[in-house]
Structure 1
Amino acid sequence: MGRDLLADGLRGSAGCGDIRIWSAVSRGDQGMYIALGSPAGTALLEVPVQDVRTFLENTEALVPRGTESGHIDWDLELANLFAKG
């Protein structure tokens, strides 16, 4: 699940299909809800909105949004995948 999806879920309903996220803060609830679906079943998770905000702030301080791919050595990752065959 990407950080952009979590951030969008803080502002309103986000996602579609197998992953949907929304915050209920506007109704006085301090929870964020994450609905996960698959052919095998569904799950509804509730997490504190403040925990999601803190997570986003901390991860964006380490790796700013939009710079993620610059922190991955793609050649090394591909070599590892092919080596494991």
Structure 2
Amino acid sequence: MGRDLLADGLKGSAGDGDVRIWSAAGRGDRAMCIALASRAGTALLEVPVQDIRAFLQSTEALVPRGAESGHIDRDVELVCLLSQR
């Protein structure tokens, strides 16, 4: 799941389909729910908002949002994917 989705989830409900995020009922702004769905099943996680904020701050200090593509060597990733066949 991308950082943009997590950041949007801090502001309100976000995502659709396989990944959805919303504020945990009755928990105010202290917790958020993350629902993950696949053919194999569904997982519902409750995560402290402070942990999500800390994660976003830490990762954005290393790689600013929007600059991710400058840190990915697509050729290396492609070789890695193709070698797993």
Query: Which of the five TM-score ranges fits, normalised by the shorter chain?
Result: 0.7 to 0.9
SS of the aligned residue for 2:66 comes to coil
The Cα of 1:23 is off from its aligned counterpart by: 2.2
Aligned in 2, Cα 1:25/1:39: closer, same or farther, shift over 3 Å?
Answer: closer
Distance 1:17 1:84, change over 3 A: closer
Aligned partner letter, 2:70? G
What is the count of residue pairs matched by the alignment? 85
Q: Counterpart in 2 of 1:59?
A: 59
**Within-5 A mapping of 1:3-82:** 3-24=3-24, 28-82=28-82
CA deviation profile, 1:4-52 (whole Å, cap 9, x unmatched): 0000000000000111001248963511100111222211100100000
Specify the code of the residue in structure 2 equivalent to 1:61.
A
Mean Cα displacement is larger for which, 65-74 or 31-40? 31-40
Question: What is the percentage of aligned positions where both structures have the same residue?
Answer: 73
One-letter amino acid of the structure 2 residue matched with residue 74 of structure 1 = R
Where 1:6 maps in the other structure, the secondary structure is helix
1:82 and 1:31 mapped to 2: Cα distance? 40
The reply on whether 1:2 has 2:11 as its aligned counterpart is no
TM-score, reference length from structure 2:
0.87
- What secondary structure is seen at the aligned counterpart in 2 of 1:77? helix
2-side partners of 1:47 and 1:34: how far apart? Answer: 8
Task: State the superposition RMSD in angstroms.
Answer: 2.0
TM-score normalised by L of structure 1: 0.87
* Aligned partner of residue 53 in structure 1, secondary structure: helix
